[in-house]
A = this chain, B = another copy of it.
């Protein structure tokens, strides 16, 4: 059974929020921390500003050749040197969702080189895509990235290139949440405050 992941913006969590910035459409409210947790833990944390939910699900566009290349080169989440993270929730337009599978694939890859561009930033930038649309959430995807501080300029370049693609013309709402791993000391301080 598929388990959902919750991204909870509030006053505690493993990640400290550095900035929240609307790229397109409405912003997300300000929160000092982000907690990432599995869906079942949801109800134990009442003090949240916003909650976003997604599932890792199956691959929607990636073909076997691409998947094999990705698996060979990509790095895992939770690397000890990856102190920076970004949560980028995205909503695409109704026009996008009314397209057939091959039309969407053509825009994602043949026209926008989404996979090719992402590959260039591996293994420095680890990432995970969460699907939200079918869950009735306000965003369609939650994209999650982790990288060492020295790779931050590369990550900015990755975002800039993706946002110039044909695929991004179908993006109706996008928010960029930049994060730093909260030290255990900070986490402890939060617990004392609570």
Asked if A4 is at the interface (CB within 8 A of a chain B CB), the reply is yes
Q: Are B133 and A135 in contact (CB under 8 A)?
A: no
- Chain B contacts of A98 at CB under 8 A? 58
Give chain B nearest CB distance to A108 CB in angstroms.
Answer: 10
Q: Are A59 and B100 in contact (CB under 8 A)?
A: yes
Q: Nearest B residue to A60 by beta-carbon distance?
A: B101
Chain A residues at the B interface, C-beta cutoff of 8 Å: 1-4, 39, 55, 57-64, 66-67, 97-105, 131, 133-138
Q: Are A134 and B136 in contact (CB under 8 A)?
A: no
- Chain B contacts of A97 at CB under 8 A? 58
Count of identical protomers in the assembly? 2
Give chain B nearest CB distance to A104 CB in angstroms.
Answer: 8
- Chain B contacts of A100 at CB under 8 A? 59, 62-64, 66-67
- Chain B contacts of A102 at CB under 8 A? 63-64
Q: Are A64 and B103 in contact (CB under 8 A)?
A: yes
- Chain B contacts of A64 at CB under 8 A? 99-100, 102-103
- Chain B contacts of A60 at CB under 8 A? 60, 101
Q: Are A138 and B105 in contact (CB under 8 A)?
A: no
Q: Are B138 and A135 in contact (CB under 8 A)?
A: no
- Chain B contacts of A58 at CB under 8 A? 97-99, 101, 104, 133
A59 with B4, Cβ < 8 A, contacts A135-B134, A135-B135 known: no
